[in-house]
Amino acid sequence: MQTMHLNHIKSVGILRPLQYIRAKNMMKIRPAKATDASVILKFIRELAEYEEALHCVNASEEDIVSSLFSEDSTAKAIICEVDNCPVGYAVYFFNYSTWLGKNGLYLEDLYVTPPFRSSGAGKLLMKTLANEAIEKGCGRFEWSVLHWNQPAIDCYYHIGAVEQSEWRIYRLTGEALHNFALES
């Protein structure tokens, strides 16, 4: 039986059962490199578009290179590839739990292109990070999800994650951040 080339699968936007098996068997995770900055930025924009927040993306390729790949970078990224073609990514960093007295791993972004959703790519990205958390002795692996993103919420419940509904996220950014920092 002839198998469909991956570029055709992506252009059609679907995975038939045999191609799904082929894609899953060819899936790999690797650390992102500075040369991935344009792909990472493309994924960031696609994720923002999905979240109806594309207007909030100010990052440039140069920003991605300097913030993820510089010597003093505190964040890291991994890429999921199928047939050497990027189909998803995750950006993460290490935080700290005073109650546990241990580092934690915080997942900032996870994104898989639409043709590869439900292919196992997202789960493989998550498992890779869970393994890194264990290898680094982290006490927890955390992330946030938008309240309306039910497919992601269902996935997280399925893997055993527990919602931390008693916490609220607060943020200072832009002018508010500068004003507060400089306030006497």
In a domain, 56, yes or no: yes
pLDDT at 24: 62
In a domain, 175, yes or no: no
Distance CA(151)–CA(65), nearest Å, equals 31
How many domains are there within the chain?
Answer: 1
Q: Is the dihedral of CA 108, 112, 117, 122 positive or negative?
A: negative
In a domain, 119, yes or no: yes
Distance CA(11)–CA(4), nearest Å, equals 11
User: Model pTM?
Assistant: 0.84
In a domain, 92, yes or no: yes
Going by their DSSP bridges, the two strands 85-97 and 75-82 should be labelled as antiparallel
In a domain, 168, yes or no: no
Q: What's the burial of 139, exposed, middle or buried (CB within 10 Å: 0-12/13-18/19+)?
A: middle
In a domain, 177, yes or no: no
pLDDT at 16: 45
What is the set of active-site residues?
156
DSSP single-letter state for residue 136: T
CATH number at residue 20: 3.40.630.30
pLDDT at 119: 93
- pLDDT per position in the chain (184 positions), as tens? 333 345 544 444 444 444 555 556 689 999 999 999 999 999 999 999 999 999 999 999 999 999 999 999 999 999 999 999 999 999 999 999 999 999 999 999 999 999 999 899 999 999 999 999 999 999 999 999 999 999 999 999 999 999 999 998 899 999 999 999 999 8
**Which structural domain, as residue segments, surrounds residue 110?**
12-163
Distance CA(67)–CA(113), nearest Å, equals 23
pLDDT at 26: 86
